[in-house]
Amino acid sequence: MRKSLRELAVGVALLASPALAGEMSVSHATLRVISPATPAAGYFDIRNLENWPLTLVGASSPACGSLMMHRSSTAGGMASMRDAGAIILAPRQTVRFQPGGLHLMCMDPSPSLMSARTVPVRLLLRHYQPVDVVFTVTDALGHPHR
């Protein structure tokens, strides 16, 4: 299939533009809070709706001093947690952030987080606009705050 020079130029401009929104869906977004002095954990499912890969490079929230992407793992009976780095979502792929695997770690949670029902979280994508998501705040057992 041959593309015209104009089609190629438009395609390159679209790919280079940081103002584009990457099409994705986020579901089951929760921020699990234990205590004001303990980091909170964020869990969600993210699905790439594009026909090309999207790269999740970070997250932020006014409810957290910092919000990091971590990966938990167990090897030789020892549990560990490390920075997850960038997460590449293949076309049409769903990635689950869940206990014991990928998750967000809310360091220095805001004191108001203990009584909040929801918090805004901004997911950061390479080469695209950030995606704002509302996370439901839950207790240690995953029950929504009342």
What are 6-57's pLDDT values in tens digits? 443 434 333 443 334 568 899 999 999 988 888 999 999 999 999 999 999 9
Q: Does position 117 have pLDDT exceeding 50, yes or no? A: yes
Q: End-to-end CA distance of the chain, in Å? A: 58
Is beta strand 64-75 parallel, antiparallel or unpaired with respect to 78-83?
antiparallel
Percent of the chain clearing pLDDT 70 (strictly above): 84
Q: In the prediction, which pLDDT does 13 show?
A: 39
Which residue, chain included where needed, has tokens 């360091």? 107
H/E stretch holding 74: strand 64-75
Task: Decide: 41 and 106 in contact? Cβ < 8 Å.
Answer: yes
Alpha-helix residue ranges (DSSP H) falling in 1-146: 5-16
Mean pLDDT along residues 54-73:
93
What's the confidence (pLDDT) of residue 83? 79
Question: What is the DSSP secondary structure assignment for residue 50, as one 8-state letter?
Answer: S
pLDDT in tens, 98-110: 998 999 999 999 9
Helix spans in 5-146 (H): 5-16
Tell me the average pLDDT across 138-142: 86
Q: Which residues contact 78 (CB under 8 A, 6 or more apart)?
A: none
Q: How far apart are CA 146 and CA 139, in angstroms?
A: 10
Look over the chain and give the mean of its residue pLDDT values, rounded to a whole number.
83
CATH superfamily, domain at 22-138: PCu(A)C copper chaperone (2.60.40.1890)
